[in-house]
Structure 1
Amino acid sequence: MTSVMSWNEWSNLDAIGLADLVRKGQITPKEVAEQVALAIDSLNPEINAVIEVFEDAVNDPMKEGTNPDGVFAGVPFLMKDLGPTVKGRLQEMGSLFMRGNRASADSFLTSRIRQAGLNIIGRTTTPEFGLCSSAENPEVYVTRNPWNLDYTTCGSSAGTAASVAAGIIPIGHATDGGGSIRIPAGVNGNIGLKPSRGVLSVAPYSSDLMGVVSAQGCISRTIRDTAAFVDSCRGGAPGEFMPYWTPQEPYSELIRRDPKKLRIAVSHEWGDYASTPHIVAELERAARFLEALGHHVEWVIPDIDFHTAYEAQTECYIMNFAQTIQGVLEQKGLEKPSANLIEPMCIRVWEEGISASYTQRAKMQSKFNDTSRRVAAFFEDWDIILTPTIALPTPLVGTKEYLTISDNPSVYDWFRNLWGIFSYTPIANLCGLPGISLPMAELENGLPLGIHALTRQGDDGLLLQLGAQIERALNGKWNQGRRPGVHVTSIDAVTQQLSPFSESRRQL
């Protein structure tokens, strides 16, 4: 295989840009897929983000039904190893216990991804069952942050976030059950949108509010890629238990206009949790930037019973993940998890949640309802809630307290510790709200810091409009134009064997 363009040219193109070249006949889907495969070969040994490349999908991009007329025109796409299934492909969910698990059918969203013209060429890393904050079990794999290999990518969409940040792919699949799109997007310098409930299908594996706290989505480098992904992939499968809706105007059109003057409530002190002074200073800087764009910005803490909200989130995740683990145990005809194959905190979560009663679940959902009503009432007066994406700096690799290999004996204490760093994202999952992390800030050590925006349910387009306004104001230079240390542009030019894209193809 040879690369079809220089890595600098490659890194300056988003998915829509690549698709435009394909439609013009300047490159082919196979050539683009081969370029991604070369990038994986070069960078994956350092960041360990991609589990597997589907060589047949690289060699024949339309083999599995990729739509050449879709908006993405055959652009390569990596799937997180969790959530939607891909027929005939392994899905091992970050777990030794699930090694060799192969899907028998495409999920509904997988079919929508193919119809959008995305060529699924591989799968990316995730922590076991998506439960913890980082894809980091040495017995499975350790995914590292391309900005500094000593630090984690966070998670659970770890491998996708690292792959996008390193320039391997412009867009990839992600899921978000409590921040798992937005958090890794934030610490890797990407754009991460968690859509509202009722946008992207969870069929056929989830069917009630316990399941749809988790949303499907993508991580990208440009607002227009995210907008096009949602436009093309949205909608429910036959038999979905709740309505799926479509906006009056496609987001790809909406983002061409600036939003109206917005009422933006800025905060970071949520109940018992608050950000570090440096992160607060970065949030203040982002708030001033938005004020300079013409928006009304004010420091206001949302009127939420934070204790009730965090309690409900904890109860939900314990019940949800207990049932997830129970489901895979039943598939294998087992009565309880094996300590040799399932990580310690996952076992403790199963032990705590598997015997939960319907009464416990009803009380939890009552807390969901109360919190959702309070947040909706707050959005009667405010358009945006602005926070940091994380409250504390990105952890170093090996920080076990946030991992499911933790030896913390208390499930509840473990979750309380998680909320201390991931304080602001789970509220969107609980309430079905859209949330977005934008790469606008920086930690003291130079790693990216996402700025997080929430809005009312169903108003995803407003977040994308605001993101597009910011992107234009920055001249497209997210992360102040910086790139991570592990990046495709660092691939040795001597080994590229470049095709002369710049000279010959650009003249076509």
Structure 2
Amino acid sequence: MTLAMGWDEWAAHDATALAARVRGGELTPAELAAQAAAAIAMTNPALGAVVEVFDDLVADPLSGGLNAEGPFAGVPYLMKDLGPTLKGRLQEMGSLLMRGNRASADSYLAGRIRGAGLNIMGRTTTPEFGCCSSAENPAVYVTRNPWDTGYTTNGSSAGTAAVVAAGVLPISHATDGGGSIRIPAGATGNIGLKPSRGVFSIAPHASDLTGLVSIQGCHTRTVRDTAAFVDSCRGGAPGEFMPYWTADEPYAELIGRDPRPLRIALSHEWGDYRAVPHFVQELERAGRLLESLGHHVEWALPQLDFRAAFAAQTTCYISNFAQTVNNLIAQRGLERPPEDLVEPVNIRIWEAGLNTSYTERARMQAVFNTTSRAFGEFFESWDIILTPITALPTPRIGTTEYLTISDNPSVLDWFGNLWRNFAYTPLSNLCGIPAISLPLGEQESGLPLGIQAQARQANDGLLLQLAAQVERAIGGRWNGGRKPDVHVTRA
């Protein structure tokens, strides 16, 4: 098969550029889909990142209901195998229990994505139910980091992180309940925005209030692609519990202007958690870059009870995931999760969280409130808080202590171990504030290190403005212009 582009040319295009060429009549959505499918075939044996390609939508992208007049004009897109559903398509959630599960209807966001002109042509990997730091169960699949396949991508948007980093396609779906957009973006050198509450709908099965901490989004390689995705896919479905807000102007326009000089706080000491010294150095280096752009940068931290906040977050995860598992086994007429079909830690979470009381959840919500108010007070004086994306280096494949195949008998200890590494992302989910991972650092292993910027509620546009200013300052050379070992241009 003759492809429309060479691989260097393909990898040099972001989604916005590909869409412009389609609108100009140079390329067709089918040619783009064929190129992406070829890229998947070429890289997936090494990465284990794509669960399924929808061959019918490769052959005829317009048959899937995408809006060819949308801003992305038929650009290929992969859906994380968790969250938004596609009618008639498999959604297996990284779980043996869910093998063969087909969705009965499209979710609301799936319709928005198609309306934006994106061709949802397959599924990417995720850990079971999205509940751990890596898509890494040999009985299901093992997703590897394209920078070095001896390492994980982190998670839970594991497959998406790998394919965007490897140049397979420029944009792909991700979700984030505690860092699952930002953490894998940070480990693979992508841009990952967790938006504020009230941006992307999770209708019809949940809402920003019933889902509480989970949010939708994407991975990209350019700020303008992220901005265009938010502009075109945001908005609430009928019957949302809360108003969905809109920005004063499209982000695609906003990011063309530099932000005003900002007050930016650096931090890596979050309660009991500290970053390794090399990550602190990389954070300081990012701070110096921002100072050179005219921003005021110094060390500062919100005044809050971090131990109470992480304990509340843990209660939220245990009780939420327990109900998720319970709902899924109930649909199958089962009274408990089968040990041969559900991973051990997820069974323990189900046991620990199934009977969480209203009183416990009320205490949790009270801490959510005080934590959110503390961040709100902090952002009265500061515009941005900057942290490393993780506290510890990205684990090697086979580091089971972070996985739901772990033999750790204690759910609380297992979550406590997660926080030691992934300390800096969950509280923005708790508070509903926006946060973005930018590929500005490098780990001692050679893997990328994301630098996270967080801002007050509904200041998503400011984060994108700052990201675009940085992108211009470095000439678009995220990751210092380096490419991963597994990449379409290295085939």
TM-score bracket for this pair, using the shorter chain length: over 0.9
CA contact (8 A) 2:435 2:455 kept: yes
Alignment partners' CA distance in 2, 1:464 and 1:6: 31
Q: Which 4+ stretches in 1 moved above 2 angstroms?
A: 207-210
Counterpart residue type for residue 162 of structure 2: A
- The DSSP-based 3-state class of the residue aligned with 1:151 is coil
- The DSSP-based 3-state class of the residue aligned with 1:291 is helix
Alignment partners' CA distance in 2, 1:67 and 1:128: 32
For normalisation by structure 1, the TM-score amounts to: 0.96
* Residue 268 of structure 2 corresponds to residue 261 of structure 1: no
- The DSSP-based 3-state class of the residue aligned with 2:61 is coil
CA contact (8 A) 1:2 1:34 kept: no
- The DSSP-based 3-state class of the residue aligned with 2:120 is strand
Alignment partners' CA distance in 1, 2:68 and 2:208: 34
Alignment partners' CA distance in 1, 2:260 and 2:276: 32
CA contact (8 A) 1:186 1:437 kept: yes
For normalisation by structure 2, the TM-score amounts to: 0.99
Deviation of residue 209 (structure 1)? 3.0
Deviation of residue 490 (structure 1)? 1.0
CA contact (8 A) 2:81 2:92 kept: yes
Deviation of residue 212 (structure 1)? 3.0
Deviation of residue 208 (structure 1)? 5.6
Q: Which residue of 1 aligns with 2:484?
A: 484
* Residue 14 of structure 2 corresponds to residue 10 of structure 1: no
Q: Which residue of 1 aligns with 2:215?
A: 215
Alignment partners' CA distance in 2, 1:379 and 1:210: 26
Q: Which residue of 1 aligns with 2:340?
A: 340
Counterpart residue type for residue 481 of structure 1: G
- The DSSP-based 3-state class of the residue aligned with 2:259 is coil
Deviation of residue 2 (structure 1)? 2.5
- Structure 2: where are the runs of 5+ without partners? none
Q: Which residue of 2 aligns with 1:355?
A: 355
- The DSSP-based 3-state class of the residue aligned with 1:78 is strand
Alignment partners' CA distance in 2, 1:356 and 1:225: 41
Alignment partners' CA distance in 1, 2:70 and 2:212: 27
Q: Which residue of 2 aligns with 1:30?
A: 30
Q: Which residue of 2 aligns with 1:200?
A: 200
Counterpart residue type for residue 291 of structure 2: E
CA contact (8 A) 1:30 1:60 kept: yes
- The DSSP-based 3-state class of the residue aligned with 1:79 is strand
Alignment partners' CA distance in 2, 1:2 and 1:58: 15
Deviation of residue 207 (structure 1)? 3.2
Alignment partners' CA distance in 1, 2:21 and 2:34: 15
- The DSSP-based 3-state class of the residue aligned with 1:461 is helix
Deviation of residue 303 (structure 1)? 1.3
Q: How does 1:372-391 map to 2 (within 5 A)?
A: 372-391=372-391
* Residue 426 of structure 2 corresponds to residue 426 of structure 1: yes
Q: Which residue of 2 aligns with 1:279?
A: 279
CA contact (8 A) 1:276 1:392 kept: yes
Deviation of residue 210 (structure 1)? 4.7
Q: Which residue of 1 aligns with 2:159?
A: 159
CA offset digits 1:35-86 (Å, max 9, x no partner): 0000011110000100000000001111121001000000000000000001
CA offset digits 1:231-277 (Å, max 9, x no partner): 00000000011110111100000000000000001000111100001
Deviation of residue 137 (structure 1)? 0.1
Alignment partners' CA distance in 2, 1:87 and 1:229: 22
Alignment partners' CA distance in 1, 2:310 and 2:2: 51
Q: Which residue of 2 aligns with 1:495?
A: none
CA contact (8 A) 1:2 1:35 kept: no
CA contact (8 A) 1:72 1:117 kept: yes
Alignment partners' CA distance in 2, 1:469 and 1:3: 35
Alignment partners' CA distance in 2, 1:52 and 1:300: 45
CA offset digits 1:362-412 (Å, max 9, x no partner): 111111011001110110000000000011000000000000000000000
CA offset digits 1:481-503 (Å, max 9, x no partner): 00000000012xxxxxxxxxxxx
Deviation of residue 298 (structure 1)? 0.6
* Residue 139 of structure 2 corresponds to residue 147 of structure 1: no
- The DSSP-based 3-state class of the residue aligned with 1:298 is strand
Alignment partners' CA distance in 2, 1:210 and 1:203: 10
CA offset digits 1:166-201 (Å, max 9, x no partner): 000100000000000000000000000000000000
CA contact (8 A) 2:198 2:208 kept: no
Alignment partners' CA distance in 1, 2:475 and 2:46: 30
CA contact (8 A) 2:197 2:208 kept: no
Judged with a 3 Å threshold, the aligned counterparts in structure 2 of structure 1 residues 274 and 6 are, in CA distance, closer, same or farther, namely same
